[in-house]
Structure 1
Amino acid sequence: MTTTLKITWDAASARRAERQFLARPAAVGTPVAEVVGAMLGAHAQVLSAAELSVGMRADGVTRADVRAALWDDRSLVKTYGPRGTVHLLPARELPLFSAALTAVPTGPSPFPPGVRLTEEQTDQVVAAIGEALDGRCLTVDELSEEVVARTGPWAGERVMPAFQDLWPRWRQVMHRAGWAGTLCFGPNRGRRVTYTRPVRGDEGAAAGAGTVAGAVPEVAAGGPSAAFVRRYLYAYGPATAQHFARWLAAPTGWATALFGELAADGLVEEVDFEGTPAWVAAGDTDFSSDPVRGVRLLPYFDAYVIAGQPRERLFPGKAYQRALGGCQAGNYPVLLVDGVVAGVWHQRRRGRRTTVTVEPLVRLTARRHRELGEQVERVGEVLEATPELVVGEVTVGPHA
């Protein structure tokens, strides 16, 4: 009779922190893409937040190093990732992300019938985007002209509600083009964002992307969806199919069926996670008996906060109300104490100086206060600014 392995929150939290470079930062010289790969992407809707997510996990890395990996050696790609949101992804792993994300069933359109694109129209727009961006960097207005010219006037009709404005119809599927590998962000042209097409095949590998230490590499076993689930479980497990679906903004029924198939094929293994059935990648059952310790500062939409489940464990007590913006993780930068959210913070930059205001929700011992000061110094190093720590109430509301 097989005994189900029992995993405690402390054990899971410690392993996640270790694999996320939060227990110990990556050593000097570790490729930036390796750090980003360990997170399964750094949320980059606000690029400075992505730079902090990476820099707080890697000794010696500054925002300049992240930008060099993105725009110079191209070991990173800025594109649409999980949940259709903007992420930094390792360039050499883009094919895996593309195959896995395009396999996720699309839910019902949030737009009224007169605004939606049919699947046929969506395919036309995605193909047109790829053709228009091949070897070029275009602003969104330039890209819009190219898409309309290749598809038809229907694509350019300004019917899509967005930020108190109306956007052209085709823009509702920009994230689908990112998933398909036909669009990514290019360098800004002045203050204007540009888009281009990712480099392909050997070009991406030649760009120098690092490999993810300890990641599950078997893409062939079960296909890209299986490899993607196993990568997710390596970073964030134990987790349920519902946790995975929430992280990916995917249909729960689809995720449940996928996990069932992987279990039948012996690719994932069931464990008892604090009394709840959950999954780890098959054979990946080593957990430390030492709980995670220490103080960390994580920025808006950090991957550890977005993916960490169960949410009530990661945001215990007062943190559940204070640090979740509308029940949405990531809307506040958070203070971690011993692996769980224990406060919020905000930084305001003025020239070469930045004021970091931290609002703890637990008592800070002398050791914790010292570690907090070290974290604030690290924030300054990453952002290339001189920091000042203020302990007090954060009056800035959640990020939209």
Structure 2
Amino acid sequence: MSHSPSAGRDPVTAGAPAPPRLPWDGVLARRLARHGLAGPLRDSGPADCAGVLCGAHAQVMSAAELSLGLRLDGVTRDAVRTALWEERSLVKTFGPRGTVHLLPAAELPLWTGALTALPTGRNALSPGARLTPGQTDAVVAAVADALRDAELTADELTEAVVAAAGPWAGDLVMPAFQGMWPRWRQALHTAAHRGALCFGPNRGRKVTYTSPQRWLPGFRPAAPADSLARVVSRYLHAYGPATPGHFARWTAVPPGWAADLFGTLAASGAVEPVEFCGERAWVTAGDTALPGDPPRGVRLLPYFDAYTVGSHPRARAFPGRAAGRALARGQAGNFPVLLVDGLAAGVWHQRRSGRRIDITVEPLGPLSAAHRRELGEQAERTASVLGGVPRLTTGPVSAGPHA
């Protein structure tokens, strides 16, 4: 499947009948149910849950553990860790947008196939600091060779890549935190997308990387075109209806390229248009049924929870004061979110001391007695997943957004 950036036009079939209109409340209720937020996902484990979400964000590992645990019956962070490091039914790698995710190990061929099909985004580095395509290929080959039978820290992997590719790979040209990273690390997420790298268990406080072959013997990325179509279908199942612009934001690709992609999928009958929140959006073909009940429930979603990151339109999902309080420069995920009836309705923060977990919730509006009872239950559930004892208070949250 080949796509090139265009002017970002919306794929519309000329002369087609008016698409069905999907109401906001019905879509919210469906998203909550599909995300395991209306009730626990049935007959599912951590890997199944990660598949439903199109990956659990793992920039903050404890947040990923909570994201999965709160959607499943009786699952704690220890169960997520067992699935990741012992059973290896989960894999920690770079997913959409080059950000760290937990994905089902069995679906890694699908995801690497799809991610390699995405166009690369704008490179913010100066021209002299960037990798050429040939250098990128050399780095990925060096990474694959170094990790084939090893778990290496970033420093150890740097030594191996420089030895194999040449001194240029180690040039300190990438601004990072309080220092500079070597040139080759621009290709870190590319190596993961091509199936050469995933995360290994931490060595003390140090991150390690290893080969996905050690999780899935015989692994290799699936065919890109078919994989990309399947990932779009999964994305629309979890987050739809969605516009090409929403998908572009979720994958960090040019909007015009996403519009061309949706046009191709519409022409093949894989997706169909609907009217949603006053604009044309898309669902997987035939997926227009909605629950009869309205969206209900109080949830405490952690940093970078997939539901908040993927929720659009932002103005509807983060209404009123939530847009200023629960988003960081329009970006979702940087604050843990209090979710009330499917909408962002506040922020929260947790601080741990031994087994005690102090949970402070800042609602942005009044909570009913029923909502307060549910909030207490959610605090208990959060502490249960994290293996602690909760102490819940409501009031201002002073912690700023996570980077």
TM bucket (normalised to shorter chain) is: over 0.9
* 1:5 aligned residue: 20
CA RMSD in angstroms, aligned pairs only: 1.6
Q: How far apart are 1:221 and its partner, in Å?
A: 12
Q: Report how many aligned residue pairs link the two structures.
A: 386
3-state SS of 1:159 partner: strand
Partners of 1:324 and 1:3 in 2: how far apart? 34
Is the aligned partner of 1:237 residue 2:240?
Answer: yes
Partners of 1:238 and 1:70 in 2: how far apart? 31
Contact 1:335 1:341 (8 Å CA) reproduced: yes
Q: How far apart are 1:286 and its partner, in Å?
A: 1.1
Is the aligned partner of 1:398 residue 2:401?
Answer: yes
Aligned AA for 2:37? L
3-state SS of 2:85 partner: helix
Is the aligned partner of 1:82 residue 2:82?
Answer: no
* 2:300 aligned residue: 297
Partners of 1:143 and 1:324 in 2: how far apart? 36
2:272 to 269, 293, 297: 269
- 80-89 vs 221-230, which moves further: 221-230
1:352 to 351, 355, 358: 355
Partners of 1:301 and 1:85 in 2: how far apart? 10
* 1:211 aligned residue: none
* 2:386 aligned residue: 383
1:25 to 40, 49, 54: 40
Contact 2:91 2:215 (8 Å CA) reproduced: no
Is the aligned partner of 1:319 residue 2:322?
Answer: yes
Contact 2:93 2:198 (8 Å CA) reproduced: yes
Partners of 1:127 and 1:283 in 2: how far apart? 42
Q: How far apart are 1:274 and its partner, in Å?
A: 2.0
Deviations 1:320-378 (A, max 9, x none): 11111121100100000000000000000011111000000121111100000000000
Deviations 1:274-311 (A, max 9, x none): 22100000111111232110100100000000011000
Deviations 1:231-277 (A, max 9, x none): 11011100000000001111111100000000011110000012210
Partners of 2:247 and 2:157 in 1: how far apart? 34
For structure 1, the 5+ residue unaligned runs are 206-218
Q: How far apart are 1:107 and its partner, in Å?
A: 2.1
Q: How far apart are 1:396 and its partner, in Å?
A: 0.7
Is the aligned partner of 1:122 residue 2:145?
Answer: no
Contact 1:98 1:179 (8 Å CA) reproduced: yes
Structure 1 pair 362/252, CA: closer, same or farther in 2 (3 Å)?
Answer: same
For structure 2, the 5+ residue unaligned runs are 1-15
2:116 to 102, 116, 132: 102
TM-score (norm 2): 0.93
Aligned AA for 1:11? G
TM-score (norm 1): 0.94
Structure 1 pair 368/263, CA: closer, same or farther in 2 (3 Å)?
Answer: same
Deviations 1:18-48 (A, max 9, x none): 1110111124x62210011111001101100
Partners of 1:51 and 1:81 in 2: how far apart? 16
Partners of 1:116 and 1:70 in 2: how far apart? 33
Structure 1 pair 220/110, CA: closer, same or farther in 2 (3 Å)?
Answer: closer
Partners of 2:298 and 2:398 in 1: how far apart? 22
Contact 1:335 1:360 (8 Å CA) reproduced: yes
Q: How far apart are 1:395 and its partner, in Å?
A: 0.6
Partners of 1:220 and 1:9 in 2: how far apart? 35
* 1:215 aligned residue: none
* 1:337 aligned residue: 340
Contact 2:192 2:198 (8 Å CA) reproduced: yes
Aligned AA for 2:349? H
